[in-house]
Amino acid sequence: MQIPESSPIVLTAAFHAKKGQADALGRCLKALVEPTRQEEGCIQYTLHQAINEPEYWFFYEIWRNKADLEAHLQMPYVREMAANTTDLLDGGLQLTFFTPH
């Protein structure tokens, strides 16, 4: 399925920290929240941590459209986070896209 150009996009971005790295990963992810919420087109951007598995983090995001999401992914703080968390992650980032129906 292709991401629609003009409709809102809901996205979950899941991260699983290596054992003992949950707090370090959390600090990196928390640093994204405030600047991202200021971005044009950001409707919702909420970070969550699993209660029973503290290594598991995910963002629940809603973007006005595909262009706004793509602009977010190019922001320097997003690119810096991606570069700085590779050693903290157990596996890769899992992105899941949704469209409202």
pLDDT at 4: 64
Domain containing residue 34: CATH number: 3.30.70.100
Structure tokens at 20: 């003992």
Instruction: Supply the range of the domain harboring residue 30.
Output: 9-98
Mean pLDDT across the chain, nearest whole number? 93
Q: Model confidence over 62-84: pLDDT tens digits?
A: 999 999 999 999 999 999 999 98
pLDDT at 99: 80
Higher pLDDT, 10 or 6: 10
| Cβ partners under 8 Å of residue 37, min gap 6 | 45
Phi, psi angles (nearest 5°) of residue 94: -110, 115
pLDDT at position 3 over 70: no
Higher pLDDT, 55 or 5: 55
Residue 3: inside a domain, yes or no? no
CB distance 21 to 55 below 8 Å: yes
Residue 4: inside a domain, yes or no? no
Of the candidates 8, 16, 25, the one whose C-alpha atom is nearest the C-alpha of residue 61 is 8
